[in-house]
């Protein structure tokens, strides 16, 4: 069984490496061939591809604004999903009684993890955009009506939609980590005089931190690459400005944004990309893969740093 698992991992790594090299080679070939045909340097073409999009044909846009939009979406989604996922998992594992009702809730959460992403997009459009957004406009921005402020797809609603999409994954990962902890840990804490809250937050939750970070890493990777819900709740082909502001909270929650995955989707299906420009699609795909890999590496590094600081030093 161990040999079979090792061979499967090796096969997956080999396929992933081959796909990455294929994207990288296609992107480099496109840069060289297009720069030669347009009599410009590859550096100038790369600059236009990343920053301006001026030198690109077929209505294609620059990649850098899409990268910033993707990062803003992922960070905002993480702020929503982390406390809610941890609180839900702690309640189901540490406080709720083991009855048929809680078992039904756990099964429902696991089933929600398999719901198609576009269903969450339709729910986000109806509930967040037209429901909550319309109410917010009537209460706080009535002077701007009928022009909507929050009653239209934007960054906030996209982050909340992706939070709902990834919340079951985070809850399941944290719940499994909490269930795997030995009961002796809880009993020893209570035997030493700790209350229920002190046991949960000072003994159980720190021991389950690897599972917490695992769930958040999975949610981050899925949010960076998910496209289907964003078609309905805020992602656009071109945004006139970045979703950031110099004033608090330093982010434009109601603004539409660009997304790397949406750029790739739009280029494949709607732009008239010629055979010679298929390398541009490979370039966007390569940027998306590198972005997801970078986010995962940052999350893994933060997890390692935090867990290392919690290990007590050997006094001997």
Quickly count: other Cβ atoms within 10 Å of residue 248's Cβ.
Answer: 6
pLDDT for the residue numbered 108: 87
CA distances to 130, 151, 232 from 123, in Å = 10, 14, 10
Q: Among residues of the chain, what percentage have pLDDT more than 70?
A: 87
Q: Which residues of 151-173 are buried (b: 16+ CB within 10 A; e: fewer)?
A: bbbbbbbbbbbbbbbbbbbbbbb
Name residues whose C-beta falls within 8 Å of residue 293's C-beta, 6 or more positions apart in sequence.
Answer: none
Give yes or no for a contact between 267 and 284, defined as CB atoms under 8 angstroms apart: yes
Ranges in the chain, pLDDT < 70: 1-6, 38, 42, 45, 51-61, 246, 248-249, 270-277, 309-316
pLDDT for the residue numbered 276: 58
pLDDT for the residue numbered 275: 58
Residue 83: which of 157, 169, 171 has the closest Cα?
Answer: 171
pLDDT, tens digit, 9 for 90 and up, residues 3-59: 446 677 777 778 878 887 877 777 777 777 777 776 777 677 677 777 665 555 555
What's the rounded Cα separation, in Å, for the pair 9 and 210? 21
Q: What's the pTM value of the predicted model, to 2 decimals? A: 0.83
Name residues whose C-beta falls within 8 Å of residue 242's C-beta, 6 or more positions apart in sequence.
Answer: 65, 68, 69, 72, 257
What's the rounded Cα separation, in Å, for the pair 110 and 175? 11
């Amino acid at each position: 069984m161990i040999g079979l698992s090792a061979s499967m991992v090796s096969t997956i790594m080999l396929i992933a490496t081959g796909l990455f090299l294929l994207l990288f080679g296609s992107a480099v070939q496109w840069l060289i061939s297009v720069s030669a045909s347009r009599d410009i340097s590859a550096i100038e073409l790369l600059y236009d591809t990343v920053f301006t999009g001026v030198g690109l044909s077929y209505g294609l846009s620059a990649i850098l604004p899409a990268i910033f939009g993707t990062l803003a979406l992922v960070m905002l989604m993480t702020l929503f999903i982390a406390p809610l996922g941890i609180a839900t998992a702690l309640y189901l594992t540490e406080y709720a009684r083991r009855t048929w009702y809680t078992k039904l809730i756990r099964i429902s959460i696991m089933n929600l993890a398999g719901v198609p992403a576009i269903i969450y997009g339709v729910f986000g459009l109806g509930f967040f955009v037209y429901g909550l957004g319309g109410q917010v406009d009537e209460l706080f921005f009535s002077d701007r009506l009928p022009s909507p402020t929050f009653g239209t797809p934007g960054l906030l609603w996209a982050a909340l939609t992706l939070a709902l999409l990834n919340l079951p994954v985070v809850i399941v990962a944290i719940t499994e980590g909490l269930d795997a902890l030995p009961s002796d840990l809880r009993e020893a804490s209570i035997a030493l005089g700790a209350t229920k809250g002190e046991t949960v937050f000072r003994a159980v939750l720190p021991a389950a931190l690897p599972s917490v970070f695992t769930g958040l890493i999975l949610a981050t990777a899925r949010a960076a690459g998910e496209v289907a819900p964003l078609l309905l709740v805020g992602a656009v082909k071109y945004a006139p400005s970045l979703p950031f502001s110099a004033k608090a909270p330093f982010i434009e929650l109601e603004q539409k944004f660009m997304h790397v995955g949406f750029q790739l989707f739009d280029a494949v299906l709607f732009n008239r990309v010629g055979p010679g420009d298929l390398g541009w699609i490979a370039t966007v795909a390569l940027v998306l893969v590198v972005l997801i890999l970078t986010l995962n590496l940052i999350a893994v590094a933060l997890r390692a740093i935090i867990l290392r600081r919690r290990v007590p030093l050997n006094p001997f």
